[in-house]
Amino acid sequence: MDYNVIILAAGQGKRMNAGKNKQWIELDGMPVIAHTVKVFEQDPWCARIILVGNEREITLLEEFRQFYSYRKIMKIVPGGKERQDSVHEGLKALDDGDSLVLIHDGARPFAAEKDIHALAEKAAETGAAVLAVPVKDTIKHISEGQVTHTMDRSSLWAAQTPQAFRLSLIKKAHEQACTEGYVGTDDASLAEKYNLTVAVVEGDYRNIKLTTADDLLFAKAILRERQEAH
């Protein structure tokens, strides 16, 4: 099995409040983005990486690629204002419509190879698949400071990345969304909007997105657990 991956690093990390793009925060002496790229550099199924970065950080990303001798990064392209715009830019860098593309947040450094493989296999079969985990909390619907109702948790799952698609399908969905001005918070939601079936592969709770400062505590614990396992 062969896939290409688009890794997104063109955000600002406002909620992390680190005074810089959160991709450059160091964990175990390596920036977050280096941990994320390493997962795919090491995965034999990954053929090519498209890295999407901030316009003003492209040179920094070129230097980063050289420093870590990452060989699979085929292109480093500037992203856009929203995550969806950045994915769209990444998709434009790929042109084999039949191929499988994975789309992944640079801010998720702990995706496990076995989950990536299960996801790729599922998308190769169905055209579109996401990693997700069942929600653990009770979820309330709130309006004007009051609970309107409690959701049925048995059908609620939290979507993660990577998400995997046949390139032609997700390109078409992104182009249509762009034309219509539709914005979704992930790529699968665009596929859903245009009536594509999206399969779910159960992921791992450790595949966190580093969003706020408290996520770094969990990240450090995950790295410590890995070191102890070796």
Ligand X SMILES: C[C@](O)(CO)[C@H](O)COP(=O)(O)O
Ligand Y SMILES: Nc1ccn([C@@H]2O[C@H](COP(=O)(O)OP(=O)(O)OP(=O)(O)O)[C@@H](O)[C@H]2O)c(=O)n1
Q: Contact residues for ligand Y (CB under 6 A)? A: 8-16, 22-23, 52, 79-83, 86, 105-107, 209, 211
Pick the closest to residue 223 from 33, 31, 28, 68 (CA basis): 28
E strand intervals along the chain: 3-9, 26-27, 30-31, 46-53, 73-78, 100-105, 128-134, 140-143, 146-150, 157-166, 199-202
The smaller minimum CB distance to ligand Y, of residues 86 and 201, is found at 86
Per-residue x/- mask for ligand X, residues 156 to 185, rule CB under 6 A?
Answer: ---xxx-----------------------x
7 conformational bin, left if phi > 0, alpha if psi -120 to 50, beta if neither? beta
Q: Could you tell me the smallest distance in angstroms from the CB atom of residue 91 to ligand Y? A: 12
- Tokens representing 89 are 């830019």
- Name which position in 57, 89, 105, 115 contacts ligand X (CB under 6 A): 105
Residue 43 engages ligand X in binding (rule: CB under 6 A): no
- CA–CA separation, 93 and 23 (whole Å): 22
- Name which position in 9, 186, 190, 201 contacts ligand X (CB under 6 A): 186
- CA–CA separation, 224 and 211 (whole Å): 20
The smaller minimum CB distance to ligand Y, of residues 92 and 209, is found at 209
The smaller minimum CB distance to ligand X, of residues 105 and 115, is found at 105
Residue 159 interacts with, from ligand X, ligand Y, none (CB under 5-8 Å by kind):
ligand X
Q: Could you tell me the smallest distance in angstroms from the CB atom of residue 13 to ligand Y? A: 4
